[in-house]
Structure 1
Amino acid sequence: MYDAGALIAAERNHAAFWRAHRSYLLAGGVPLAQAPVVARVWRDGTRQAQLARMLSGCDVPALDHALARSVGQLLGQARTSDPVDGAVAVLAADLGAVIVTSDPEDIQHLLDHLGPVGKRAEVDALR
């Protein structure tokens, strides 16, 4: 699962990100980039060709009512206010996904507040 930092790395043509992304695709993986994450980064498709190319190989799940309520509850428990990071943490924990992020501490803080469910997700810091 990609957070905003991963999408920005794609947009900026970060070589290490693209290598990891290609490897994941070649192994049969389908990365996730939640709709709120895309909204945080997307500004002008005519200038974001690299990002558009990367997103074409991703699933982009929506933030539905049930997920939104889970995110809100997590934000209250964690005493933080970023619904985008919260959505990443909740869905990644539900799926047991690896989160590629430029903010590993923030994401880990949220996962820690999900209790045992949060331990199903793994944080992978962008390098």
Structure 2
Amino acid sequence: DPENGSDFLAFAVPTMMGEVRRHFRDYGWAVKVPRRLKDLQSQMVRARGELSQELGRAPTPSEIAKHLGIERESVIEATIASSNYTTLSTDVQAGPDAEYRAIGDTIGDVDPNLDKVVDLETVRPLI
């Protein structure tokens, strides 16, 4: 409203920047992570930096939790969730050269005897 007297940029710039940040926060992750863990991520980065300077070493999850005033379990959950920002293709070699198999080749396969187990467990109550 031009009659309001407020400058349009004072409204538009923070609103647009917030929308862009929100977009990257919500859609930039490879795996769906709860928003509270995403929000906690930036607080933990700052806390780690501050505590590393203060302690002269990497802080423990308990020290970060105390610094932020939250539960230790929340720090651990957010740390685990942070690994979901990017993913690794299963077609990538597991080592530096062609001698190594692809990561996908190291993952187990379906047990061929699984159907026998299912059949046996299905029939067992009838015997």
Superposition TM-score, scaled by structure 2 size: 0.28
Q: Indicate the structure (1 or 2) with the bigger Cα radius of gyration.
A: 2
Structure number with higher strand proportion: 1
Superposition TM-score, scaled by structure 1 size: 0.28
